[in-house]
A and B are shown apart, each in its own frame.
Chain A
Amino acid sequence: MVELSHDSRPIIGRGPPLTAYFFALAAISVGLMVADQRYQQIDRIRESLSTVIYPVQRAVDFPFRATDWVTGSFADRSRLRQENLELTARLRLANLQLQRFAVLEEENRRLREMRANAAGIAEKVLVASILSVDLDPFRHRVLLAMGSRNGVFKGQAVLDGDGIFGQVSKVNASTAEVILISDAEHAIPVQSNRSGVRTIAVGTGDQNKLSLPFVTVESDLQEGDLLLSTGMGGVFPPGYPVARVSKVKRAGSTFATVEAKPTAKLDQAREVLLVWFKAPVLEAETPVAPTVGTPARAPIDTTPPPAETPPRPQQGGE
């Protein structure tokens, strides 16, 4: 059979037939995908590949960092002075509040110790900068310039100055991927600061909106309520602001439509805080997520069981 071959590689040393080559590589890809979904070992391959790719990410990030640096170092005097004044004023205010807070924290700790539960207070905080790199536009993920080398672990809570930001979803040697609380695959247990109603806030894929799908019509939630993290699931430290309720609609017969706006600046933050804390021991008398009927989607929050998150960073390391 004579036909014009589409395979125009040199006849000598052309390697395996194209189609066989294709199927072999396709099988490897499918195998990788399945393994990536099922087994943890694949993380090692990803880690070594991401070490190769790290310079590329750094290179992309570099111009943005450089512009920041240049605008920072050539800022004119009057603007700096203005900024300084504002910051001083804010610091004074914060200090004032802190005086009260120190007493309260001490009291809180004492009370918790009386209940043999001193957990849930942040022990160590590390500032990590976000790399200016675009990941998938349809997922809310960012890349931090810190990785397992700095003691970052999977499932670690990430905060910014205004509230809960997300949690670490993948760790490489010198980078870590963070899933934001607004990602459609993320859910976080929350509690209303005003009424104490507990529920789960699920990401919507919109950075300004979280949805609270398991709130019954009767539950006491109002617009403007501050939602705090409960610390259930052991990923997030309890008591940090997550979102503010922006819309409550009690139209249906069982569940109300409730939306909330994240307090953290999900789209603007350049630097975030990585938090190490002692996971709270779940008490027997607190039911897990009481307002939930049968959740349509399993919340992701519980990825690492609290007992298995002890990887501590090396002391004094940075």
Chain B
Amino acid sequence: MFARRLLYWASMAAGLVLAIVPLPGWLDSVRPDLALLAMIYFVLTAPRIAGLGYAWLSGLFLDVLRGMVLGQHALGFLIVGYLTHRLQLRMRMFPILQQAVIVMLLLALYHFMMFWIDGLTGHGYTGWVRWLPVLSGGLLWPLVVALGDSLTRRSS
């Protein structure tokens, strides 16, 4: 159990690190939200341990790391975490591709929230490039599941 918990916090930290590692030019704008994907994965597979508090905290740390309005990513993560929690019984039954589609929808919602809050706080950037992480995140979902499964199997 302890190893599991450690894994959740470690993967949160890893996701956050990957969110700010400098990437060259175009790679920077397709950077998938790994912290968010990891959060979705853990809420799906271990809803008893990784809950809303976990989701909210990851978002808050991301806010501080990126110097955004405090609470922006926290709210986004929270909403995605809550929806995942509501959908988890169904989502766990889905084949991986269908899961990826749902994850993409969740990511789209998340990015819409970010876009909206950015607009409210006066940082609006309206280019289409902003929506690329939705696509890259969806494509990466099977990989996240594979990696997560192999990690949890080893640690339990």
Listed in ascending order, the chain A residues whose CB lies under 8 Å from chain B are 4, 6-10, 18, 21-22, 25-26, 28-33, 35-37, 42, 45-46, 49-50, 52-53, 56-57, 59-60, 64, 132-139, 141, 143, 170, 177, 184-185, 205
Contact B70 A33 (CB under 8 A): yes
Task: Flag if A29 contacts B85 (CB, 8 Å).
Answer: no
**Which of B21, B64, B121 has a CB less than 8 Å from the CB of A53?**
B64
B75 with A133: CB separation less than 8 A: no
> Does B6 sit at the interface, judged by CB under 8 A?
no
Tell me whether B143 is interfacial, beta carbon within 8 Å: no
Q: A18-B52, A22-B82, A25-B56 are in contact. Are A6 and B68 (CB under 8 A)?
A: no
Other-chain contact of A32, B65, B71, B88, B89 (Cβ < 8 Å)? B71
Give chain A residues whose Cβ lies under 8 Å from the Cβ of B23: 134
Are A177 and B67 CB-contacts (below 8 A) given A18-B52, A185-B123? yes
Q: Judge whether B78 and A22 touch: CB under 8 Å.
A: yes
The residue from B66, B75, B117, B130 contacting A135, defined by CB atoms under 8 A apart:
B66
Contacts of A45 in B (CB 8 A): 70
Q: Which of B61, B82, B89 has a CB less than 8 Å from the CB of A4?
A: B89
Contact A138 B130 (CB under 8 A): yes
Having A9-B47, A29-B74, A33-B70, one finds 8 other A-B pairs with CB under 8 Å, namely: A6-B87, A9-B48, A29-B72, A36-B69, A49-B64, A60-B22, A133-B65, A138-B123
| Interface residue B155 (Cβ < 8 Å from any Cβ of A) | no
Beta-carbon nearest neighbor of B132 in chain A: A137
Candidates A8, A49, A170, A205; contact of B60 at CB < 8 Å: A49
**Complex CA–CA separation, A60 to B65 (angstroms):** 11
Q: Is A59 a contact partner of B75 (Cβ separation < 8 A)?
A: no
When A and B form their complex, which 10 residue pairs have the shortest distance between CB atoms, in order from nearest?
A: A32-B71, A29-B75, A138-B125, A29-B71, A33-B71, A49-B64, A36-B70, A22-B82, A32-B70, A137-B28
Chain A neighbourhood of B66, CB < 8 A = 135-136
- Interchain CB contact under 8 A, B69 and A25: no
- The answer to whether residues A46 and B64 also contact, given A26-B75, A133-B22 and a CB cut-off of 8 A, is yes
* Of B12-20, B95-103, B145-153, the one with at least 4 CB within 8 A of chain A: B12-20
Query: How many residue pairs, one in A and one in B, have C-beta atoms under 8 Å apart?
Result: 121
B61 near A49 (CB under 8 angstroms)?
A: yes
Q: A8 contacts which of B29, B31, B48 (Cβ < 8 Å)? A: B48
- Expressed in whole angstroms, the Cα–Cα distance for A219 and B127 within the complex equals 33
* CB contact between B48 and one of A10, A59, A60, A135 (< 8 Å): that residue: A10
- Whether B88 contacts A6 by the Cβ 8 Å rule is yes
What is the chain A residue whose CB lies nearest that of B21? A60
CA A4 – CA B130 in complex, angstroms? 38
A45 to B61 Cα, complex, angstroms: 12
Rounded to whole angstroms, the CA-CA distance of A36 and B87 in the bound complex is 32
Which of A21, A33, A56, A141 meets B17, CB within 8 Å?
A: A56
CA distance A184 to B119 in the complex (A): 13
Partner of A6, one of B16, B64, B89, B127: B89
State the Cβ distance, B48 to closest chain A Cβ, in Å: 5
Asked whether, in the complex, the Cβ of A132 is within 8 Å of the Cβ of B65, the reply is: no
Chain B residues within 8 Å of A46, by CB: 64, 70
Nearest-Cβ distance from residue A154 to partner chain B, whole angstroms: 13
Q: Taking CB as reference atom, which chain B residue is nearest A139? A: B123
Q: Is A36 within 8 A of B16, CB to CB? A: no
Could you pull out 27 A-B pairs where Cβ atoms are within 8 angstroms? A6-B85, A6-B87, A7-B47, A9-B51, A21-B52, A22-B52, A22-B82, A25-B74, A30-B75, A31-B71, A32-B71, A33-B69, A37-B69, A42-B70, A49-B64, A52-B64, A53-B64, A56-B13, A56-B17, A60-B22, A132-B22, A133-B22, A134-B31, A139-B125, A170-B67, A184-B125, A185-B122
The contact string, 1 if C-beta is below 8 Å from chain A, for chain B 25-69, is: 000110100000000000000011001110010011100111111
Give CA–CA (A59, B19) in the complex, Å. 13
Write the chain A residue with the least CB distance to B133. Answer: A137
Chain A positions within 8 Å of B64 at CB level:
46, 49-50, 52-53
